[in-house]
Structures are given as C-alpha cells and as structure tokens.
C-alpha cells in the first residue's frame, strides 16, 4: 500500500510502447509485401506481353505428365479433365490480373499434362498376357517386319489364339523368327510361339522395358517355334495393315534400287539413311561409327529431315526463280515451302516413321508453316508448339 505509484506508471508506459512498435513493424512488413507484389505483377506483365511466358508451358505440361507416371494407381480421367477445364476458365477470367493469370495458367498446364497422359493411356489400354503354361498358336496379319543381323522380328496383329493356360488374347504380339523366314507385311499367317509379357523393371525405380511395347499396343513378346505358315483369314485386313503393307512395298522397292546402283558397304549405309533399315550395315561399319561417335547419324531424326526439307525448299525455289513469269506473278517461296513439306512427309513414311523421325517432322512442318503464313520460321515459340504436339500425341516420350 505504501509503494510509490511511479514505477507502476513507467511499467504501463513500457507495456504501451510494445503495441506501437509491433504496429510499426507490421506496417513496414505490409509495405514491403505490397512493393514485392507490385514488382512481381510488373515483371509478369512484361513476360506475358513479350510472349516469354508461353515458353514455360511445355515444361509445365511435361511436369504434369511426369506426375501422372509417378502416381501409384490409375487416376480418374473425368476428375483430371474437369480440374484442367476449371483452371483454364479461371485463368481466362483473370486475364486482367497478371499474377493470378500466370499462376492459374501454370497450374492449368500441369493439369492438362496430367489429363492428356491419362487420356492417352486409357485410349491405348489393351490386354497383356500372363505367362501361359505352354506354346501358343497365333493367327493374324503381319503388321511390321524388322530384319536384323541374326534374326527377323515381326509385329503380328492377332485375330485368334489358342494355347494351354492362355487367359487373354493380346491385340499385338512381337515375335523373333529365324533369319530369312519373316513374311511380307500384310500377309496372314499362323505361328506357334512361346510367349512372355513385356519385360518389367528389374527393381523399383529401374527402367521399365515394357513401357515402350505397351504404348505400341504390344501385349506379348516371344520367339517362334518353326516357320510361319501362310493362311487365308475370313477377317478383312485392317486398313492400318493395308497402309503399312503399301509403305513397306515402297521402302523395299527403294532399297532394292539402291542396292542395284551401289556396292557394299555403301549400299547398306545408303539404305539405312533413306529407308531406316539398318540390317544391311556391316558390323565393321557399325563398330567404326560407334568408335567415332557417329552412330546417331544412322538414326533418322532432325538432321536428316532438315537436309531433305532444306534441299527441296532451296531447289524448288531456285528453279521457279529462273522463270520470270512465275517469280513475278506467283508466291514462289510459299510454293517451295509446300513442296518441302510434301517431300518431308514422304520421307517420314519412307524412313519407317519412328518416333524421332515423327518429332523432327513436326518441328520441320511448323517451320514451313511459319514460312507459309509469313511469320518467323525459327523461334522458341516454334519449339514450344512442337513440344506440345509431341507430348500430347506420345506422353511417354517425356520418359525417353
């Protein structure tokens, strides 16, 4: 009761000073946050206006595909598409707010990558066999033939199959046959074979050797027992098999003419570079190219497609420019671009249209399309669009 009240007032003043300091610190924090958001909004607006933000969308799209492949179980297709659609609608509605627009667009790209991978997997889904207890007799149409150094390999579109313990009939089977026994593409055969499902990873997280065959529709792999027997099948030949049979005939005709005009080993190299058939390349040449680091030249991809398209473009444009009546009255550059695009498409078919060749053709086609519409042919936007198309058509390419 006899205590001096002064210390009590001093203590009150000290306690009252803390909220003021806290308010000042809070105001400073709010001001810094507002400044950062304003700077971020300005930078994002610059990126959007310059078009550089678009270049990151394929990266985010591919990340969404990776998230799909990392999922432990098959996700819902409807849920993924619904989420991607809602995020896209939200991004369109937020175009006046750059930061919100950029964030929603980025998340939407992730969702679209996830959804497209889910959709493509559901579209390709097909049965994969369990190991049967014995040999299986298959009947079907030969869809593709690959002649290797020691054996032939065929892809068979199955119409019927019989075998002990065979629970499911795969749509396609890849078989290894003795060298020189592979029938022509489009032929109907019956073949006895021992089968296994495509190889699974040897350990968790290891490379999945069965992923590529699965996305090609292959439900079983194995080796043939004996030679294939040609048969007549009442089932009509699928249009895809008929088309591939025509392409195979053209490729074999071109390869035959090359071998008649050139001697080995030049003929084998020329056939590999034109038709993609590397069976004629001698082991000595392959070893020499491997040691020199040039093995990739035998795989038809961007280098070959660019050479074909560029040569055709320059040749057609130069020839048309020699005629003044054409050069002065017609869009010679556009005509040359169309000719180069048509030639590149034919070369894609002639080379066997493997995945690397398909990617290169898409990129080349976009460059030539830019020439046709009068826009810069070579730009990072072209690369971004090509990446989108490739990943949308083949999501598994992101893992290769």
- Residue 103 host element (H or E): helix 98-124
65-124 per-position pLDDT tens digit: 999 988 888 888 888 889 888 988 988 888 777 778 888 888 899 999 999 999 988 888
224 in the same domain as 169: yes
117 in the same domain as 15: yes
The DSSP code sequence of 35-88 is HHHHHHHHHHHHHHHHTGGGGGHHHHHHHHHHHHHH-SSPPPHHHHHHHHHHHH
269-295 per-position pLDDT tens digit: 888 888 877 777 777 887 787 888 877
**Is position 366 within any domain?**
yes
Domain hosting 180: range is 136-238
Instruction: Look at residues 124, 147, 171 and tell me which one is the last residue of a structural domain.
Output: 124
**Is position 130 within any domain?**
no
Domain count, the chain: 4
**Is position 345 within any domain?**
yes
Confidence tier at 12 by pLDDT (50, 70, 90) = very low
**Is position 378 within any domain?**
yes
**Is position 1 within any domain?**
no
**Is position 4 within any domain?**
no
50 in the same domain as 108: yes
355 in the same domain as 269: no
Alpha carbon distance 13, 5 (integer Å): 13
CATH number, position 162: 2.40.50
**Is position 3 within any domain?**
no
171 in the same domain as 86: no
Give ∠ CA 101-105-107 in degrees, rounded to 5: 125
pTM (global) more than 0.85:
no
Asked whether the beta carbons of 125 and 157 are under 8 A apart, the reply is no
19 in the same domain as 65: yes
Confidence tier at 156 by pLDDT (50, 70, 90) = confident
252 in the same domain as 158: no
Alpha carbon distance 321, 316 (integer Å): 8
């Amino acid at each position: 009761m006899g205590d001096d009240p002064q210390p009590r007032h001093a203590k009150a003043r000290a306690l009252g000073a803390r909220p003021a300091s806290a308010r000042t610190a809070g105001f400073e924090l709010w001001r810094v946050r507002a400044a950062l958001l304003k700077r971020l909004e300005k930078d994002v607006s610059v990126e959007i206006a310059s078009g550089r933000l678009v270049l990151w969308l394929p990266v985010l799209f591919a990340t969404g595909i990776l998230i799909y492949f990392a999922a432990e179980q098959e996700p819902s297709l409807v849920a993924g598409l619904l989420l991607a659609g809602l995020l896209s609608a939200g991004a369109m509605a937020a175009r006046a707010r750059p930061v919100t627009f950029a964030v929603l667009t980025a998340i939407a790209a992730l969702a679209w990558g996830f959804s497209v991978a889910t959709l493509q997997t559901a579209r390709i889904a097909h049965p994969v066999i369990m190991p049967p207890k014995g040999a299986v007799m298959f009947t079907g149409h030969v869809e593709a033939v690959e002649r290797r150094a020691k054996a032939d390999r065929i892809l068979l579109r199955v119409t019927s199959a019989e075998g002990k313990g065979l629970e499911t009939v795969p749509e396609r089977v890849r078989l290894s046959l003795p060298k020189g026994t592979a029938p022509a593409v489009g032929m109907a055969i019956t073949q006895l074979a021992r089968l296994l499902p495509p190889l699974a990873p040897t350990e968790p997280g290891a490379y999945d050797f069965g992923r590529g065959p699965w996305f090609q529709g292959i439900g079983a792999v194995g080796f043939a027992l004996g030679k294939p027997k040609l048969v007549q099948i009442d089932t009509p030949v699928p249009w895809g098999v008929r088309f591939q049979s025509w392409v195979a005939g053209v490729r074999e005709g071109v390869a035959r003419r090359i071998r008649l005009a050139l001697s080995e080993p030049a003929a084998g190299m020329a056939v590999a570079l034109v038709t993609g058939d590397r069976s004629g390349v001698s082991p000595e040449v392959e070893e020499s190219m491997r040691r020199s680091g040039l093995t990739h030249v035998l795989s038809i991809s961007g280098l070959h497609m660019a050479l074909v398209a560029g040569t055709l473009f320059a040749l057609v444009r130069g020839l048309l420019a020699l005629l003044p009546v054409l050069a002065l009255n017609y869009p010679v550059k556009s005509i040359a671009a169309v000719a180069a695009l048509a030639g590149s498409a034919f070369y894609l078919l002639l080379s066997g249209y493997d995945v690397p060749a398909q990617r290169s053709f898409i990129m080349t086609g976009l460059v030539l399309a830019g020439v046709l519409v009068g826009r810069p042919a070579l730009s990072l936007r072209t690369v971004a669009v090509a990446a989108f198309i490739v990943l949308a058509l083949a999501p598994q390419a992101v893992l290769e």
